[in-house]
Chain A
Amino acid sequence: MSLFSFLFPQRQGTAAIARDRLKIVLAHERASRDAPDFLPGLQKELIEVVGRYVEIRDDTIRVNVGKSGETSTLEINIELDGAKLKVGTGKPVIVASANPGAAAAGRPAKPVKSG
């Protein structure tokens, strides 16, 4: 704190900041509130599917429905930073972590007998 601001404290209130922050956060929350019912289910299944290949945590996946003008968008965001791939799944995997040892140490992937 400078001597100036100590001697002449700002008299401007903080109510305007509160108002602006509220407007922004509520705009976001209202958009997701009107989201379709299938989102939680979709999110759960996505975690299952992606989780077969890479270890992910539940909170690293975000599913949003957005709308800009005429177009509706479904946005799926999966954070893989630091995620470990699972070995021996027999399918191409997303090597997500900067940890080449994990992939190299794994056995050669066995082809999956598809039935």
Chain B
Amino acid sequence: MATLVRWPTTASRTARQSRREVWLGKVIVITSGKGGVGKTTTSAAFAAGLALRGHKTVVIDFDVGLRNLDLVMGCERRVVFDFINVINGDANLNQALIKDKRNDNLYIFPTSQTRDKDALKREAVERVIEELKNQFDYIVCDSPAGIEHGAITALYFADTAIIVTNPEVSSVRDSDRIIGILASKSRRAERNEDPVAVHLLLTRYAPDRVTKGEMLTVEDVKEILSIPLLGVIPESESVLRASNTGTPVVFDEDSPAGRAYLDAVARFLGEQREMRFVKPERRSFFRTLFGRA
């Protein structure tokens, strides 16, 4: 039985509720098909970015058996209950949700380390998602790689999808495949509702290699996949620094990748922002000497 959990409400939510507006959270899936392209990094950064903009956000790990979002978010030692515990009724939602220590708007919902990959039953996941929609502005779903049960469950309830793609042939091909699956297998597709809004996020982009003709350009990938571009995240040393320390990269103000993610979040919220970090950076002599990306 799903129990309704009451949350300490944010000001904006309270205001909306007092105006009796019905606001249901939006479900965003971070997906790619291919593994290792930056889905978890993106989920952490995007969720943290939305929280920094004042939106109450929860980020859910759908990668059952291969839990990693907790590490990237830096809350691995605070996991007591997980997704499967909630689904099985061993814990309720507010026992499993971990509140981020850096931002009050941000919550992490860890997955289980169980080996039963099919543990996420669609009806049970639906109950959890519907409950989260009442409490949060955005529900960010970190999808596992592949097109198996876990990945399909992660994208099934999506209102919006962010397709994380590297400028590399296998990643682009798998992204195309996932875009096809979103168009046919999502709940919106099955119910003949408006299709899932799909956005391209190009990650690990190396402008200097693009200039040399060694790497697909933003325009190439955009043209091939023919979906709108949300952002370009440059290959950056700061991404590894961030995961080493369990800090979403947007909290690193010096990081080009972090700033690119914040731009992408702003565009997602409807702002116009110029694409940065798509041209080779001119490193000053000083920076070359004491280089930090």
Report which A residues bind B (CB closer than 8 A).
11-16, 18-19, 21-23, 25-26, 29-30, 33
Does the CB pair A23–B215 fall under 8 Å? no
B216 proximal to A (CB < 8 A): yes
Specify the chain B residue showing the minimal Cβ separation from A17: B169
Main SS class of interface, A: helix
B79 proximal to A (CB < 8 A): no
Quote the shortest CB–CB distance from B185 to chain A (angstroms).
Answer: 12
The 6 A-B residue pairs with the shortest CB-CB distance, nearest first, are A13-B213, A13-B214, A19-B220, A33-B180, A18-B169, A15-B213
Selected from A11, A15, A26, the residue in CB contact (under 8 A) with B210 is A15
Does the CB pair B173–A15 fall under 8 Å? no
Quote the shortest CB–CB distance from B2 to chain A (angstroms).
Answer: 34
Does the CB pair B173–A22 fall under 8 Å? yes
A112 to B209, CA, bound (A): 70
Q: What B residues does A21 contact at CB under 8 A?
A: 169
Main SS class of interface, B: helix
Q: What B residues does A12 contact at CB under 8 A?
A: 213
Q: What B residues does A30 contact at CB under 8 A?
A: 176, 180
Q: How many residues on chain B are close to A (CB under 8 Å)? A: 16
Quote the shortest CB–CB distance from A15 to chain B (angstroms).
Answer: 5
B172 proximal to A (CB < 8 A): yes
B6 proximal to A (CB < 8 A): no
Report which B residues bind A (CB closer than 8 A).
168-169, 172-173, 176-177, 180, 210, 212-217, 220, 224
Does the CB pair B172–A22 fall under 8 Å? yes
A15 to B219, CA, bound (A): 12
Quote the shortest CB–CB distance from B288 to chain A (angstroms).
Answer: 23
A15 to B172, CA, bound (A): 13
Does the CB pair A19–B216 fall under 8 Å? yes
Q: What A residues does B210 contact at CB under 8 A?
A: 15
Quote the shortest CB–CB distance from B25 to chain A (angstroms).
Answer: 31
Specify the chain B residue showing the minimal Cβ separation from A16: B213
Does the CB pair B180–A15 fall under 8 Å? no
A18 to B169, CA, bound (A): 6
A13 to B173, CA, bound (A): 20
Does the CB pair B169–A15 fall under 8 Å? no
A52 to B214, CA, bound (A): 52
Q: What A residues does B215 contact at CB under 8 A?
A: 13, 15
Specify the chain B residue showing the minimal Cβ separation from A21: B169
Does the CB pair B212–A13 fall under 8 Å? yes
